[in-house]
Chains A and B, each alone.
Chain A
Amino acid sequence: MKKSKADPKGVLTGSHFMDGDYALAEGALAAGCRFFGGYPITPSTETAERFSERIPVVGGVFIQMEDELGSIASLIGASWGGLKAMTVTSGPGFSLMQENIGLACMMETPLVIANVQRGGPSTGLPTLTSQQDMMQARWGSHGDYEIIALSPDSPQECFDMTIKAFNLSELYRVPVFVMTDECVGHMHEKVVIPPAEEIDIVERKWYEGPKDKYLPYKCDSDGVPFMVKTGQGYRFHTTGLTHDERGYPLLNAECQQKNVQHLIDKITKNADKIIELEEEQIDGAEVVVLSYGITYRVATKAVQEARKAGIKTGTLRLVTVWPFPEKKIEEIAKKVKAIIVPEINAGQVFLEVDRCSRNKCKVVNVPHLGGWVHNPDDIFKAIKEAVK
């Protein structure tokens, strides 16, 4: 891993009043992203618009592709061409990208995808919020693989977490998702962009050894292979087929085991390092409200009400949703009566919490099918019910 500071060219230092969509673009530019390939889709389009205006003067390239299949394919290409690359989309576009998200995982290609979630399925609610793509982010492409997903709850976090997403993506050579939603995407708030020298940047490990010795998929001690870009004489090969260390297809059970297990291990074995959580008053709590993204902000109101009513209420916020904090949930489940999981879907992360609680406590789903955020009263009611 190569650590450095941000290139000042992409950093719009200062205090701004901007929406989450713009902040995604600014975070990416600060992180060193110099390629954007995308396709317009509500409610994420403003990010593409921001890129199209900003990236030419920062020294990068913007292309509006013919569809989302093209966007994601262009990103993988751009990443192997040596640039940090990003796209932004929402439900239908995210669905179209799934096949090549698998290719990015298989080729171990660093890239960042922001999903400004809207209500689904299908065309659903183009202009209104949801958190319905959380499981799709985890399992959307076919086969077994691991990715990383972050969930910002404000424009400021859209900026900060996009930088974090790029750093994780470069570090683990894996697609990283910034799973925001229409509410945060269109919310205008203060966004403070620090000076470039205060922004930590991680670069992928570039291979610099002898040309004939390069093995694209030979793991280093940290479980992540070295990368090269095109045009340097390595004459390497990579494929979406199951492959060996040379990147050559080898279609048998043994190679499949090794190849796919590696894709899983490089994330799960580093899960403790990757996972970021925010917790509050969990010690001694009767009930814990677990949430992420915009729902965390909404749940805050319900938690305040519950505490006023004398219920010892803790909170756990998933900053990183994938990989999932399995150990943490099990630990909490042993100590509390119930974990309340409000989310703007029918209960996606709820299922994971339920699984990880191992029946040590009640796990309560507070679903909302999208279009608006929860009424905090509904979460408060669920808290009261749970401690009865």
Chain B
Amino acid sequence: MTEKQPLQNPVEKILRMDRMPHIWCPGCGIGTVVTSFAEALRKEETDLDNLVVVSGIGCTGRAAGYIKLDSFHTTHGRAIPFATGLKLANPKTKLVVFSGDGDIAGIGGNHLIHAARRNMDMLVILVNNFNYAMTGGQVAATTPLDANASTAPFGNFEYPFNLPHLVAAAGGTYIARWTALHLRRVTKSIQEALHRRGFSFIEVITPCTTLYARRNRLGDGLNLLKYYYDNSEIQHNADTKDLNITYQGKLIVGKFIDKEKPTFLDAMNQHLSKVLGDKYTPYGEEK
């Protein structure tokens, strides 16, 4: 008789299995993005000890609690400045901010643009489900025009953000957008971004079945994946100004920006070394 090997999903290694089951709804896309993240780490054989995850508040904000790395579940909107402090205090670590659209682009929007402006070395994974889901499906800075939300009961009349365009204008150096259907593409983008130095931004559009889809009578998770399948168009290097999202309209996805420029710490060290000369010891460089 052969002894049965216990079955283990390869991503379990980076998950806090003692915290399962997670809180996310059936059909929700956040878990898929976490899987892509875990898969990217596995494929890249990333140094897990030096990888730090920071989340804010909201459904996606719970991600940090399930990822078995140094992980911080912070306050609403403040994951990026929190990660900024972590990065600057301990420059050898790689920072990943994993949070939602309301957290990063709504309440935390100011930090998003300033971290991009500084080219702060971190990867921001923004899970966009078009609404504030944790609190019951309120309208967000990302809700498409005309979509219904619990605080836009007659439909949304506010223009939403075009996030890749916003981050590009602010100075982000790696910018991509995918949907939860593009699992392998998301994984590949994360793999790439983990090697980039600078401000990387990946937006992943995901189904919120319990709230956004239900209120808008869009069906279940599968219907939304079908929508992504029928309406996504991969256009690498597309002009970011053309990436607006309309209600149930076309979704332009792909990698839009991938360039290099000095990070905040690079710029600080280069500049202060030039100006202060011998008085200055470059900060954060291995001695």
Contacts and interface: CB of A to CB of B under 8 A. Distances in A.
Interface string A64-101: 01110111011111111111010000000000000110
Nearest to B84: A74
Contact of B82 (A34, A73, A248): A73
A57 B50 CA distance: 27
A78 B50 contact: no
Contact of A80 (B86, B280, B284): B86
Interface string A201-215: 000000000000000
Interface residue range, chain B: 35 or more
Interface in B65-98: 65, 68-75, 77-78, 81-90, 92-93
Contacts of A83: 89-90
A37 B85 contact: yes
A73 B75 contact: yes
Interface string B272-284: 1000100111011
B85 A81 contact: yes
B49 interface: yes
Nearest to A248: B19
Contact of B74 (A37, A67, A103): A103
Interface residues of A, number: 45
Contacts of B49: 231-233, 235
Contacts of A35: 85, 88-89
B58 to A, nearest CB: 13
B110 interface: yes
Contacts of B19: 248
Nearest to B93: A231
Contact of B279 (A57, A77, A249): A57
A74 B82 contact: yes
A237 B16 CA distance: 10
User: Main SS of the interface on chain B?
Assistant: helix
Interface stretch (A126-134, A162-170, A238-246, A353-361): A238-246
Contacts of B276: 56-57
B85 A85 contact: yes
B89 A78 contact: yes
B111 A70 contact: yes
Contacts of B283: 56, 59-61
B89 A79 contact: yes
Contacts of B16: 237, 248
Contacts of B90: 81-83, 229-231
Interface of A: 34-35, 37, 56-57, 59-61, 63, 65-67, 69-71, 73-83, 85, 99-100, 103, 229-241, 248-249
24 contacts: A35-B88, A35-B89, A63-B264, A65-B81, A70-B81, A70-B84, A70-B110, A71-B81, A74-B85, A74-B88, A75-B85, A77-B54, A77-B72, A77-B82, A79-B89, A81-B87, A82-B90, A99-B75, A103-B75, A103-B78, A230-B52, A236-B70, A238-B73, A239-B72
Interface of B: 16, 18-19, 48-50, 52, 54, 64-65, 68-75, 77-78, 81-90, 92-93, 110-111, 114, 264, 268, 272, 276, 279-281, 283-284
Given A77-B86, A81-B85, A237-B71, 5 more contacts: A65-B81, A85-B85, A234-B70, A235-B70, A238-B71
In the A-B complex, the 3 residue pairs with the smallest Cβ-Cβ separation, listed nearest first, are A81-B89, A77-B85, A74-B85
